């Protein structure tokens, strides 16, 4: 049963389009969260904040296929927002390097969503536009 007019089989294409529904889908939005985590890991690896092999491992796992969407739904319902669930699932991946430490030790190292956005407030409109239109 659709809960909004854009989900309606009858009215959906009048008020939206399939391409826009994909842009705002849970999978696309979650992949954008993962894209941010991958970018953060790349930069932190390059700057030596985290080991480069940990950064590479985090980037390798920043794909929607790695996320259990049913579990993410449960985590989001319990917590109230999806980012912590995404980071939690990403951090549970094991590093494949010789040291058996979980990469969760390095996921989101010393950064929160707030600090990521507050560092670049002048780019918010651009960032949001890219998030909404990139597929």
Structure confidence by residue, pLDDT tens digits, 88-116: 888 876 545 444 445 667 887 666 666 66
Average pLDDT score, the chain: 78
pTM reported for the whole predicted model: 0.73
Residue 112 has a pLDDT of: 67
Burial class (CB in 10 A: 0-12, 13-18, 19+), 56: middle
> Could you tell me the two tokens for 24?
């705002």
Who has greater pLDDT, 107 or 133?
Answer: 107
User: Average pLDDT, stretch 50-65?
Assistant: 92
Residue 32 has a pLDDT of: 93
Where do the domains of the chain lie? 27-127
pLDDT above 50 for 133: no
pLDDT above 50 for 87: yes
Structure confidence by residue, pLDDT tens digits, 1-26: 767 777 788 887 887 888 888 888 89
CATH classification of 27-127, choosing from 3.30.930.10, 3.30.360.10, 3.40.50.620, 1.10.275.10?
Answer: 1.10.275.10
Please state, in angstroms and rounded to a whole number, the distance separating the CA atoms of residues 31 and 50.
Answer: 22
The answer to whether the beta carbons of residues 30 and 98 sit under 8 Å apart is no
Please state, in angstroms and rounded to a whole number, the distance separating the CA atoms of residues 33 and 58.
Answer: 13
3-class secondary-structure state, position 94 = strand
């Amino acid at each position: 049963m659709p809960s909004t007019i854009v989900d309606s089989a009858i009215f959906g294409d009048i008020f939206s389009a399939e391409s826009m529904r994909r842009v705002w889908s849970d999978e696309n939005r979650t992949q954008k969260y993962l894209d941010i985590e991958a970018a953060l890991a790349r930069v932190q690896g390059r700057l030596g904040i985290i080991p480069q092999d940990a950064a590479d491992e985090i980037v390798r796992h920043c794909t929607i296929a790695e996320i259990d969407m049913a579990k993410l739904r449960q985590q989001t319902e319990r917590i109230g927002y999806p980012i912590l669930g995404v980071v939690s699932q990403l951090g549970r991946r094991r590093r494949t390097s010789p040291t058996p430490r979980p990469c969760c030790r390095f996921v989101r190292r010393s950064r929160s969503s707030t600090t990521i956005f507050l560092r670049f407030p002048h780019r918010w409109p651009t960032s949001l536009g890219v998030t909404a239109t990139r597929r």
